[in-house]
Amino acid sequence: VDLARNADQIPLYDDAPPLDPSFRSLNFGYGTSAGAGLATISQLQSEIINLEIKALDKLAASVGAADLKFDVVSLTTLPEQKVVAAGAKYRTQLFLSAASSAIVPTMTADGDTLEVSNGRGYYEFTAKGGQYDREGLSKQSYIGTISVTLPGGRDTTFIDTVEYFVARPVIQIQSASVQALYLNCGNEITVNVPALGSEYNPTFSARGGDVIRGSKSGQVTIIPKSKKVDLNVSNAGNFIGSQSFGVRQIPAPEIKARIRGKEIDAKTGIPVSTPSFSLDAIADASFAEFLPKDARFQVREAEINLVRAGRGVSRQRVNSKDVNLNRLAGKRKGDNIVIEIKRVARANFRGEVEEFKNFAPRYITIPLK
Please check whether residue 296 is in contact with residue 346, taking contact to mean a CB–CB distance below 8 angstroms.
yes
pLDDT reported for residue 29: 67
Across 56-70, 206-220, 238-252, 254-268, least confident range: 56-70
Q: DSSP character for 208?
A: S
* Predicted confidence (pLDDT) at residue 346 exceeds the cutoff of 70: yes
Instruction: Tell me the residue type at 309.
Output: A
Can you give the pLDDT at residue 152?
65
Question: How distant, in Å, are the alpha carbons of 4, 28, 180 from that of 35?
Answer: 19, 11, 103
Rounded to whole angstroms, the Cα distance separating 124 from 168 reads 19
Output the pLDDT for position 63: 52
DSSP 270: B
Residue 308 pLDDT > 60, yes or no? yes
Q: Report domain extents, the chain.
A: 7-56, 102-168, 172-248, 254-367
DSSP 3-state of 312 = strand
Exposed/middle/buried for residue 249 (C-beta within 10 Å: 0-12, 13-18, 19+): exposed
pLDDT value at residue 210: 96
* pLDDT value at residue 19: 57
CA distances from 280 to 259, 283, 298, 344, 348 (A): 10, 10, 7, 10, 17
pLDDT at 305 over 90: yes
| Residue 167 phi, psi (nearest 5) | -85, 140
pLDDT at 64 over 60: no
Averaged pLDDT score across all residues of the chain: 84
Number of other CB atoms surrounding residue 144 within 10 Å: 17
Angle made by CA atoms 329, 334, 335, in degrees to the nearest 5:
40
234-279 pLDDT, tens per residue?
Answer: 988 888 889 999 999 999 999 999 999 999 998 999 999 999 999 9
| Whether residue 24 has pLDDT greater than 70 | no
CB 204 within 8 A of CB 173: no
**What is the per-residue pLDDT across 84-122, written as a single tens digit (0 to 9) for each?**
667 778 888 898 887 777 778 899 999 999 998 878 899
Mean pLDDT along residues 182-191: 93
Domains 172-248 and 254-367 belong to one CATH topology? yes
Would you list the DSSP string of 265-277?
-TTT-B-TT--EE
Tell me the pLDDT band of 48, cut-offs 50, 70 and 90. Answer: confident
Choose from 9-23, 33-47, 138-152, 170-184 the range with maximum mean pLDDT.
Answer: 138-152
Residues 304-322: what's their mean pLDDT? 91
Element spanning 304, H or E: strand 296-308
Q: Does domain 172-248 have CATH number 2.60.40.60?
A: yes
The model's pTM is: 0.64
Q: How confident is the model at residue 13 (pLDDT cuts 50, 70, 90)?
A: low
Please state the rounded mean pLDDT for residues 14-27: 63
- The CATH architecture to which 254-367 belongs is Sandwich (2.60)
AA letter at 29: G
pLDDT at 357 over 60: yes
Burial class of residue 297 (count of CB atoms within 10 Å of its CB; 0-12, 13-18, 19+): buried
Q: 29-56 b/e with 16+ CB inside 10 Å = b?
A: eeeeeeeeeeeeeeeeeeeeeeeeeeee
Residue % of the chain over a pLDDT of 70: 83
Q: Is the dihedral of CA 234, 238, 242, 248 positive or negative?
A: positive
